[in-house]
Structure 1
Amino acid sequence: MRVLSIAAIQTVPVPGDLEATWDRFEAQVVAAKTLRPHVNLVVVPELLLAAPGPLLLEDAEADARAATTIPGRVTDRLCDLARDLGVWLVPGTLVEQTDDGRLFNTALAISPEGSIVARYRKLFPWRPYEELLPGSEFVTFDIPDVGRVGLAICFDGSFPEVSRQLAWLGAEVIIQPTLTTTRDREMEIVMARANAFANQVFVVNVNGASPVGVGESVVVDPEGTVMQQAGGGEEVLFAVLDLDRVEVVREYGSHGINRPWSQLADQCALLEYPMFGGATVRPPEWAKPL
């Protein structure tokens, strides 16, 4: 089996206090790994380490206060933590500041050797509330002998093109740090299930806990079924993802019925997509025609 054992920590920052938030985060990651030594990937909510405050509390300096370069002091600490614990780490997202002063909402994947192996800038910031700049690239990374992981962030899940592209690139699980503070969380869960079902991938969507977020983190399997769902408060979803199941579902169909990727491989040359300027879709290399 190709097993990915995850700990999705639904937690909160200490609003406005970057150092206290780091201390909480570090202690929780250590505790999760200690409690379940087999865990090999830990993920936390979007912007956790930026220590955001309540949704409608005006804080014009929040992004500038949390901004960090990549690499930099924060990423050095993250790399040391991943190396010390021997885990893959997706530490939510950071406010990334580039050399020319631009700010992005950026997710990282850090290896157990303490190296940054992937950097993903959120493609669809939540407008108008989120003022950080959008990224321009889809990002996946490989966990040796396990499988390929795609990165998405929060509102990206409302755009099916993101999950479809990540799956096309070979992702078998999508890790989606999220910070949702509003009552549309139910629809985000609908989209997590739909994106998993349509692309036959696992989706791990971990939200911030109350009172900063509304919680309800989910782990969804490649057939669109919710494996686990959190409540509103702080908790950890431990899940063991058998990535071989992705191959099985794609081969035999979701619920033994539907094979969308195989059908797309059969029919992609027959269709043009007006919304994409009349382009056709190439099947991924791994797709098997019906």
Structure 2
Amino acid sequence: MRTLSIAAIQTAAVARDIDTTWAQFEAQVRKVVALCPHVDLVVVPELLLAAPAPMLVDDPDFDERAATTIPGPLTDRLGALARELGVWLVPGSLVERDGDVLYNTAVAITPQGEIAARYRKLFPWRPYEELQPGRDFTTFEIPGVGRVGLAICYDGSFPEVARQLAWLGAEVIIQPTLTTTRDREMEVVMARSNAFANQVFVVNLNGAAPSGVGESVIVDPEGTIMQHASGGEEVLFAVLDLDRVTQVREYGTFGLNRPWAQLADQCALVEYPMFGEAKFVPPAWATGSVG
């Protein structure tokens, strides 16, 4: 059995106080690992360690205060913590400085303290988020377990993101989020839809009040919510059976629907005008023959 034990910490930053937010983050991660030493991976919300102010509060120096290079001093600290505790870390997302350009970037840190993956948010929340968009989809392998894809918040509103991550072999999509607005209800719908349509687990982790409105979810490959948080601080623990992804794709969602098999059979013949002359290429892992 290929299992991934996840702790998703729905928490809030201390607004505009990076040092206190780090201390709180470190204490929470240590507490979670002490409570559940079997945990493989810990994730926190989008931009947590950047300590952003609430949405309606001016924060003119946010970029300069929060920006960090990757790799750099902050990822070194994260690596040391992951190595000490022996866990994978997805520390939300960071404000990454690359020359004169700033990105909203998620990283995955191995239990050995190394950066396994770096993902720049493809779809910043325009016009409110001024950080620049990335260009690449990102997955990483957890040895002996499976492949994980990274997405950030508003990326979930674009079905192409989850579809491409699944095409690349992701069996779990980890999606740090920071949502303060009333459309959180629809983000939960989209998390379920992305899981259902692509037959993957989705870990959509929002910030707690007052940073966000919470309502984090962990969704299984059939689109069913496994865990659903309230609005306050909370930890979602789940053991994900990645063999379940294989099973659902082979036998169908609820024993019925096998979209990847149908894509492998038919969609190479379908033209997609919105993508110009591009055609769908079945992923290497997919098998066809839906009848």
Structure 2 length-normalised TM:
0.99
User: Cα distance, 1:148 vs. partner?
Assistant: 0.1
Which whole-Å CA distance do the structure 2 matches of 1:183 and 1:221 have between them?
24
User: Cα distance, 1:209 vs. partner?
Assistant: 0.1
1:81-123 deviations in Å (ceiling 9; x for gaps): 000000000000000001x221000000000000001000000
**Which residue of structure 1 lines up, in the alignment, with residue 232 of structure 2?**
233
* Residues 172-187 of structure 1 mapped to structure 2, 5 A cutoff: 172-187=171-186
1:69-92 deviations in Å (ceiling 9; x for gaps): 111111110000000000000000
**Which residue of structure 1 lines up, in the alignment, with residue 105 of structure 2?**
106
**Which residue of structure 2 lines up, in the alignment, with residue 95 of structure 1?**
95
Which whole-Å CA distance do the structure 1 matches of 2:268 and 2:145 have between them?
32
Unaligned runs of 5+ in 1: none
User: Cα distance, 1:279 vs. partner?
Assistant: 1.6
Q: Structure 2: which amino acid aligns with 1:37? A: P
**Which residue of structure 1 lines up, in the alignment, with residue 129 of structure 2?**
130
Could you say what secondary structure the match of 1:257 adopts? Answer: coil
Q: Structure 2: which amino acid aligns with 1:182? A: T
Could you say what secondary structure the match of 2:194 adopts? Answer: helix
Which whole-Å CA distance do the structure 2 matches of 1:14 and 1:73 have between them?
20
Q: Structure 1: which amino acid aligns with 2:80? A: D
Which whole-Å CA distance do the structure 2 matches of 1:227 and 1:269 have between them?
34
**Which residue of structure 1 lines up, in the alignment, with residue 73 of structure 2?**
73
Provide the aligned C-alpha RMSD in A. 0.5
Q: Structure 2: which amino acid aligns with 1:96? A: E
Unaligned runs of 5+ in 2: none
1:190-236 deviations in Å (ceiling 9; x for gaps): 00000000000000000000111000000000000000000000000
Could you say what secondary structure the match of 1:15 adopts? Answer: coil
Percent identity between matched residues is 74
1:102-156 deviations in Å (ceiling 9; x for gaps): 1000000000000001000000000111000000000000000000000000000
Could you say what secondary structure the match of 1:249 adopts? Answer: helix
Which whole-Å CA distance do the structure 2 matches of 1:269 and 1:50 have between them?
43
**Which residue of structure 2 lines up, in the alignment, with residue 258 of structure 1?**
257
Which whole-Å CA distance do the structure 2 matches of 1:110 and 1:269 have between them?
36
Which whole-Å CA distance do the structure 1 matches of 2:142 and 2:5 have between them?
12
* Residues 270-281 of structure 1 mapped to structure 2, 5 A cutoff: 270-281=269-280
Runs ≥4 residues deviating over 4 A: none
User: Cα distance, 1:188 vs. partner?
Assistant: 0.3
Which whole-Å CA distance do the structure 1 matches of 2:277 and 2:53 have between them?
44
Which whole-Å CA distance do the structure 2 matches of 1:237 and 1:163 have between them?
22
**Which residue of structure 2 lines up, in the alignment, with residue 170 of structure 1?**
169
User: Cα distance, 1:60 vs. partner?
Assistant: 1.4
Q: Structure 2: which amino acid aligns with 1:8? A: A
Which whole-Å CA distance do the structure 2 matches of 1:121 and 1:154 have between them?
12
Which whole-Å CA distance do the structure 2 matches of 1:16 and 1:59 have between them?
8
**Which residue of structure 1 lines up, in the alignment, with residue 23 of structure 2?**
23
Q: Does 1:37 align with 2:37?
A: yes
Q: Does 1:58 align with 2:58?
A: yes
Could you say what secondary structure the match of 1:280 adopts? Answer: coil
Could you say what secondary structure the match of 2:288 adopts? Answer: coil
**Which residue of structure 1 lines up, in the alignment, with residue 145 of structure 2?**
146
Which whole-Å CA distance do the structure 1 matches of 2:119 and 2:224 have between them?
27
Which whole-Å CA distance do the structure 1 matches of 2:82 and 2:119 have between them?
18
Could you say what secondary structure the match of 1:26 adopts? Answer: helix
**Which residue of structure 2 lines up, in the alignment, with residue 83 of structure 1?**
83
Which whole-Å CA distance do the structure 2 matches of 1:227 and 1:14 have between them?
29
Could you say what secondary structure the match of 2:202 adopts? Answer: strand
More displaced stretch, 129-138 vs 263-272? 263-272
Which whole-Å CA distance do the structure 2 matches of 1:71 and 1:160 have between them?
30
Which whole-Å CA distance do the structure 2 matches of 1:185 and 1:240 have between them?
25
Q: Structure 2: which amino acid aligns with 1:16? A: R
Q: Structure 2: which amino acid aligns with 1:13? A: A
Q: Structure 1: which amino acid aligns with 2:60? A: A
**Which residue of structure 2 lines up, in the alignment, with residue 160 of structure 1?**
159
Structure 1 length-normalised TM:
0.99
**Which residue of structure 2 lines up, in the alignment, with residue 214 of structure 1?**
213
User: Cα distance, 1:278 vs. partner?
Assistant: 3.2
Q: Does 1:8 align with 2:2?
A: no
